[in-house]
């Protein structure tokens, strides 16, 4: 998740010990609900399943829950799937989460309300 957050949201300062005012926990929940059947080269067929991730944002200093929200997966079949040579490809894969939606939910708590 960190790779998808804006760089100026990372813990700082840039030198010395890292400090953080907020802590984000993510809990992925993949379901068995099939939303698509993805077809790949070589006759590989993989089921795409519905996913959702619940996020809990805490104040680091007090452990107080700041907000809780859930983002549903909304992606289609990926253009490719990866697996190790000699291993069978996965039977199912979960939808990806739109990280832009996560950032939009976090922004008011990290940067303050829009002016």
pLDDT on residue 1: 53
Looking at the predicted structure, is the pLDDT value of residue 113 above 80?
A: no
From 57, 50, 53, select the one nearest 101 (Cα to Cα).
53
pLDDT digits (tens, 9 = 90+) for 49-102: 999 999 999 998 899 999 999 999 999 999 988 878 788 878 899 999 999 999
**Of 64, 69, 36, nearest to 50 (Cα)?**
36
pLDDT the model gives residue 31: 86
Per-residue pLDDT tens digits for 25-59 = 999 998 889 999 999 888 889 999 999 999 999 99
Q: Domain-by-domain residue ranges, the chain?
A: 2-110
Residues 36, 48: contact at Cβ < 8 Å? yes
Q: How far apart are CA 39 and CA 56, in angstroms?
A: 35
pTM of the model: 0.78
């Amino acid at each position: 998740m960190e790779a998808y957050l804006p760089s100026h949201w990372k813990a700082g300062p840039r030198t010395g010990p890292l400090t953080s005012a907020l802590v984000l926990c993510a809990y992925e929940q993949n379901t068995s609900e099939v939303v698509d059947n993805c077809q790949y080269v070589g006759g590989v067929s993989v089921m795409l399943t519905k996913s959702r991730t619940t996020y809990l944002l805490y104040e680091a200093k007090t452990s107080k829950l700041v907000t809780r929200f859930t983002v549903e997966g909304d992606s289609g079949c990926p253009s490719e799937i990866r697996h190790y040579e000699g291993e069978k490809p996965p039977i199912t894969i979960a939808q990806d989460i739109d990280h832009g939606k996560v950032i939009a939910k976090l922004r008011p708590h990290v940067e303050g309300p829009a002016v």
